Structure 1
């Protein structure tokens, strides 16, 4: 039986988003989003919902519906194919939830999308994320600079 399910992000997830984007891992590896209040979270979520290049899916526990993390798909201007991302609340890290969620998402993505390539851009010191994308079959393909920051680009192509 699956432990998690994915649901589209919406404003009902505002309190969860406040907690997630202010967690130590998010701040270190993704960056400050200045989401401190319910109003900030609602605005952040509406901005995501209004951007056709961005999709956020909430990872929820099947047993309780509790949100524990997110999977993101972003079509970035500097990449030809979308970038997959993920983040979990600290209490749910290192329990396999990210692997389950991203695997589920990628299976759906590759079965319905005409795009058969996916990327992940990761800071070099984010070893857990690098290990996870490698476990998912993405391989290092390039070093890129974005906003003055050096990132590693991992890719997976389905033929």
Structure 2
């Protein structure tokens, strides 16, 4: 996959580990801290620090080079220095499985504008056509109605419930498991 993509309204970029990008990422997380924490595992104590975000950017860039993980930060074209969301394909496996998991988050200020659907849809098409991934899974907390609507509009199909899937805010949480099979090929690339 490429380091940067352009959609009609957005820029999707893999960010390098520098001070400017670490500041942008930290600002993104801090601006919607309470909202993001509702749907993600408890944060480690130094998560909300510049140094930690810079180290994560370095880790993610190296994982992208290895082909096991790719995170795109999403920007609006008219404000190309402000992160509005992220899309992550992680646990990328090749050969017989040829699959990965999708993760995403968008700033609440930019909900209900179609940005997530535009960005994820474009990134999925690129993942399928350029990387030949056969199957993408998404796990959505069962009370997260906006995310459920989003993945279903994107074409994901619900496969069932993963009970006690992840610990959120000190409690085990059930998640729906969704999958999307590559519409551009019928057999995984081996």
Length-normalised TM-score, structure 2: 0.74
Q: For residues 19 and 98 of structure 1, what CA distance do their matches in structure 2 show?
A: 19
Q: 2:80 aligned with 1:56, yes or no?
A: no
How many matched pairs? 157
Counterpart of 2:90? Answer: 74
1:141 aligns with 2:159: yes
Give distance in 2, aligned partners of 1:89 and 1:10: 21
Residue ranges of structure 1 left out of the alignment (5+ in a row)? none
Higher relative contact order (CA 8 A, sep 6+): 2
**Greater C-alpha Rg:** 2
Q: Which of 155, 163, 180 lines up with 1:156 in the alignment?
A: 180
Partner of 2:27: 19
- Whole-angstrom distance in 1 between the partners of 2:154 and 2:176: 16
Q: CA RMSD in A?
A: 2.1
Task: Report the TM-score when normalising by structure 1.
Answer: 0.86
Greater strand share, 1 or 2? 2
After superposition, the C-alpha distances for 1:37-89 in whole angstroms (9 at most, x for unaligned) are: 21121122223233342211011111231321111101179xx5211121112
How far apart are residue 90 of structure 1 and its match?
2.0
Does residue 49 of structure 2 align to residue 37 of structure 1? yes
Per the TM alignment, residue 129 of structure 1 is displaced from its structure 2 partner at its CA by 0.8
Which stretches in structure 2 are left out of the alignment for 5+ residues?
Answer: 1-6, 167-171
